[in-house]
Structure formats: C-alpha cells, structure tokens
Copies of this chain bind each other. A is one copy, B any other.
Amino acid sequence: MTGSHTLGETEARVANRLSHMTLDFEAMAVTSNLFRAASAVRNHFERNVLAESGLSWTAFVVLWVTWIWEPAETRDIAAEAGISKATLTGVLSTLEKMGLVTRARSTTDGRLVLVSLTKDGQTLMETLFPAFNRQEIAVVSPVADDKRGELADMLRAITAKIEG
C-alpha cells in the first residue's frame, strides 16, 4: 500500500503543503488509516481466501447475507451488503451463473425477488466461512485482546453517526 516514502516523510510534506490551512490532523489520520486498513484487509481476503473459489469480495458478502437470511429479499441483501441494487443485480447474475444461488419471484408481491442458496452454495459457505474467520483472527491479532471490543465499538459509532 505505502509507496517508497516513509510515514514521517509523507506527514512532513503534507504539513508543509497545508501549513496555511487550519486542519485537524488527528481526524485526518483516523479516516486515512480507516481506508488503508479496510483496503488492505479486503485485498488480503480476496487473494488468500476467496481467489480459489473465484469469488470477489462483494460476491462473498452477498453470499453470506443470503446464507443468513435465506430466502432473502434483494432489497435487504443490497442494504446489508452496502451496495446499490443495480450492483446487486449484476452480482446475483454472476452467482447464479456459478450455480451458487437461485432467484425466485415472490408469490405474494410480484415486485420482489427472493434469493436462496443452492446445495453447492451452502456447501461452499460451510467450508469458506470458517476459513474466512481464521483469517479474521490473524488480521486482528496485532490489536490487544482487551482492545478489540473497544475498536469495534468505535467503528460502529462512526457508522451510526453517518447513517443515523
């Protein structure tokens, strides 16, 4: 992620470039590191856990949400996965083509589409999710045990603040 420049070098140049502005560097550091971490973790998962299944990050999340809420309405899947409904349409088509999910129009509301996992989809998730969790443990390991709950809470608070 980081280029050839050290952290201190970057911050020095930033401070120099922005010296005439009144800025909150601590807030800047939080958001900046939030994105670096999220991006690094995501790429790590894609390469080390998902690649062999041919799944993208988003495809996995969609599969996971469907797994939990099956049969799931697409509007809920999109909301839980944090993607637009337009994106979901494409991802579902991909997963359908891979034989992992099925689409079925609701009998009580003709506008709704209900998504379920196929047998293959279920089998895949039962092996994939534990593997995923093992990597989650490794990723979080540099944070002290008694700080992880606090970390999750702070991130939750940020999300709530924006979406509230």
Using Cβ atoms and an 8 Å threshold, which residues of chain B touch A33?
Answer: 152, 155-156, 159
Query: Are A35 and B141 in contact (CB-based, < 8 A)?
Result: no
Cross-interface CB contact of A161 among B23, B141, B160, cutoff 8 Å:
B141
Count the copies.
Answer: 2
| Candidates B2, B21, B82, B136; contact of A1 at CB < 8 Å | B82
* Contact present for B154 and A147 (CB under 8 Å): yes
Within 8 A of B (CB), among A100-137: 129-130, 133, 136-137
Say whether B158 contacts A30, CB under 8 Å: no
Majority SS at the chain A contact face: helix
**A162 and B136 contact, Cβ closer than 8 Å, known pairs A33-B156, A39-B82:** no
Q: Which residues of B contact A8 (CB under 8 A)?
A: none
**Closest Cβ of chain B: how far from A32's Cβ, in Å?**
8
- Chain B residue with the shortest CB-CB distance to A157: B142
Contact status A163-B26, CB under 8 Å: no
B35 near A38 with CB under 8 A, answer: yes
Please give me the residue from chain B that is nearest to A77 by CB atom.
B3
Further contacts, 10 of them, CB under 8 A, given A21-B130, A34-B37, A143-B158: A1-B80, A2-B80, A3-B77, A13-B68, A13-B69, A24-B133, A29-B148, A33-B159, A40-B158, A151-B151
